[in-house]
Chain A
């Protein structure tokens, strides 16, 4: 019967073996404060002076507040920031950026090693490119590089939009969060590039065309045209966004719109607005 005592003793000792699933809770990432070397306007001017895309080799730091969110999927692998002087697009190679960078949060970009270029007439900041690349900049990636380059600062209030309700759209507003009041809806179309339905612009009653069957993703975009004091703007939305299938208002509906002011040289019209979500469209009447 000694055996029993043995067994119980050893069994008891073994119960004290260490725990494997006991972890400390990670701390909240500290926020940083850096001193910008350039305002965003000064930074963008570097591109405009050259007129061509270039790799940044100076220790430039810019700061700005986040104005966009990819939560609904209308933005994809890009994000806009702006300071008091200007706004700029950052091309970052990951989805779910809204999880890392919050609307109104200040972020700092250490631009050395990145590349500034343009697309359709809009300046953007991204990664360097290999030979024969389709775009002037690539994405900032992978994560380890993003962590080195983009630093998270204090969270704060969202920026106030620049009011462009008079229909006059200055170049300096490109990349800024803007607002149009009393814009009149004229209709929405998608461009059937692959001629799945005969080709050309085809009217739809939703904000985008999520079910486009063609190979080109261009056909998934919806072009919702509004009139702002005689200026046409295009609220352009992705077929991958969560609101893509939502119905647009009826023609003639008056709306207040907020979004990023995008200029696309080839667009008809060239003034495009990218919204974060349908909350950015407020129906007036």
Chain B
């Protein structure tokens, strides 16, 4: 009897369950204007992990839903994300048409990020912007479109904390960890389709870091079907951009193909000598063999030539009357020539295979290869005067410090009246080389030839980067999903210098000029000792030859990872883990005279165990709001460039090198009610045991030296707020605030070595950094914006942005005991001593700034809605404020003050970058 009752009960439950299974929702995604169907809209149903896509007619259907409240999110590239709350009963509910508005085109976004503000020191890397992708998250969206103008870095992190995937393959640079965006810059159309996971989120393709995960879907089937073209005219980075793309969509025969081509050309209105001569190409083909098997092949590249800007001191800016002075260029005959050109072409080829044996499982296997060349040119000289116009000895302040005001005035006059003083004097450099005839050389063949004294070198970082990846995604019952993968990476990067231009001379002799100055003898001053021994003389370098240094950086990396997503009525979240090994070593191709036994061949192999653990739990307070707690802990290898004290010259490893430890926690509150959206997050992060190597010319040592810093700890804490409020009908109010406090929390140790001798210049010197601020990003950024969208497809927006607490990048040398020599005296008062110490050690904080930006656009559907024509205009810095500092750095120089009898050191003037005045970006696009 009991058993019978039980069976009946069980049966009832099953039938009830079966009945519940019949619930569902269906509908059609259409364009708000014209009601045309939109295909490939991603429809996510929360709280489940179900994802479906609309078909060519825009239709979607989700079945098997239990009765209850669901949140449907509709996402598609180029369209604004739509979120709907749906009550599902016991039948499939038809929500009919889901109108989606086309998103304002990402004006300006993209290219602005990649206009790196290059500097002459290793600070290069620091000012590399982290990318902020356009995202459905209201905060990230504003930060991406608005804050990027100030080189804002979310949460203060370097770009290596943000994981960037291309078609599911981790693509951050193998050597530096930096974002790889420049590899496809200009290919905005082909890379438009991307997904962004929040700071401590995970993607479907990997565990990611602590700064979010972006995956770019750049495959034939992922590009929106049709032809699109656009022409941009702008004045902030380049004059013109032209882009044409075509995607076939998935054809009936199972093929899909897509290609895209773009070019960016010209300079800008603010900085002389800079320009773009950049192209981008993309081609992808995909074949669906049958229900189970699919292949794709994608090739892309961005051959780019770009003239670069340099920072200068305020003295120089004031003297020339512009904060946009660029010392990198000068007139050659009567044409502007920039000495610092980035010139790269690093194509990527990617082959992928997808195996979908059933609707809940997918196996993905990918092999990708990145190759090509990446050069960055600069002036090099053997002897004689520094050719850079803003070298400190060429400035009035240099003479003023010596009390020679008359000469300072003469210098000022020369800067004001003579292009050869104000900019690089190419004609002089050529004439210098013309006159440098070789006489009485031991090498008879050189007699009568001109030995170049000034040349342009091109520093190469040529990567061979191969990635292999296999992963398995399994959707389980009850809203669970399991994702496991194996990633392997092989990277061999050749670093070398190439002779780009002999500037009118016939040859260059490849010796270490710093070693030569130390009178170490012929042998020791050789950069390439093997050549010297075989030929009896240093290499005679012609244009196109390698010289100076040549080595491989090797990185081998393998890891396994897994992510388990779960989703129940009230809770959703994930647990993720990753573990792997990284091995890195240097392989010198030259035997260098000063390091005969430690420069050629393989260095010791540095092996690091890496792991990551991440977890996140969301509690849905109701369908409209949720609270999410996330935590991550990672241990990761130092970057290759931090692992060796002087990779250009030798195999010596950075002292105290250890793996970095990263901890981060995040608490986020999300609210979605009708059109009202808000997010509030608080975060706390520590990064410990970082290492860093900075290379620079040390005036006190009169030679090229390296700072190897270890045990750098930092802490990042803050809140992020983003909201979007529909005011009425057409008008929307948005806002975002990022308020953070990012600081160094340790006093790192530095070892200073010279490039031309094994002598340790400074050993175990402490850098007093504790309490100083993390540099190069505003720690406070806020936005308030109004946006308008009318029913006839006119868009407009105006944003006011506020930035504060932006700190200058620090020279560690200024915070050492050595730098304080001669600053503290027992006879002085405490206040006097303190003031003197502060003068050396203080960190500059920039003034706060307000920036006003605006945009406007219109879309037309013409000829039976077959064609789409649009115009958009973005104007930044409407108030034309030209005094806003966006970054800069302290020069890696310490000046010996010779005015007193005791040794005392002084700082050099810092160098700054400024936000451009008013800029515009006008985009006209045409699609069908």
Contact = CB atoms under 8 A, between A and B. Distances in A.
Interface stretch (A138-146, A161-169, A183-191, A266-274): A138-146
Interface size class of chain A, counting residues whose CB lies under 8 Å from the partner chain: 35 or more
Interface in B234-278: 242, 244, 246, 259, 261, 263, 265, 275, 277
B411 A26 contact: no
Interface stretch (A17-25, A44-52, A79-87, A254-262): A17-25
Given A99-B384, A130-B406, A242-B519, A17 B263 contact: yes
Contact of A142 (B242, B307, B421, B432): B421
A145 B410 CA distance: 8
Interface stretch (A7-15, A172-180, A195-203, A223-231): A7-15
A285 B8 CA distance: 125
A234 B424 CA distance: 42
B229 interface: yes
B435 A130 contact: no
Contacts of B334: 24
A96 B385 contact: yes
Given A96-B384, A244-B519, A245-B519, A11 B244 contact: yes
Nearest to B405: A130
B403 interface: yes
B496 to A, nearest CB: 20
A20 B440 CA distance: 39
A4 B307 contact: no
A232 interface: no
Nearest to B440: A279
Interface in B379-394: 383-385, 394
Contacts of A17: 263, 265, 277
A131 interface: yes
A11 B263 CA distance: 9
Contacts of A279: 440
A24 to B, nearest CB: 4
B277 A95 contact: no
A127 interface: yes
A245 B521 CA distance: 9
A142 B334 CA distance: 23
B394 A24 contact: no
Interface string B272-291: 00010101000000000000
A260 to B, nearest CB: 20
A29 B729 CA distance: 71
A7 B244 contact: yes
Contacts of B504: 25-26
B333 A94 contact: no
A31 B719 CA distance: 68
B431 interface: yes
A253 to B, nearest CB: 22
Interface string A28-60: 110000000000000000000000000000000
A3 interface: yes
A130 to B, nearest CB: 4
Contacts of A129: 404
B80 interface: no
Contacts of A95: 383-385
20 contacts: A3-B227, A10-B242, A14-B279, A23-B332, A26-B504, A28-B431, A29-B427, A95-B384, A99-B432, A99-B435, A100-B435, A130-B402, A130-B404, A133-B404, A143-B385, A144-B410, A144-B420, A144-B421, A210-B519, A245-B519
Interface of B: 227, 229, 242, 244, 246, 259, 261, 263, 265, 275, 277, 279, 305, 307, 332-335, 337, 341, 383-385, 394, 402-407, 410-411, 413-414, 417-418, 420-421, 425-428, 430-432, 434-436, 440, 453, 504, 516-519, 521
Given A20-B275, A99-B435, A143-B385, 13 more contacts: A3-B227, A7-B259, A10-B244, A25-B430, A26-B426, A130-B405, A130-B406, A132-B403, A133-B404, A138-B404, A142-B394, A143-B421, A242-B516
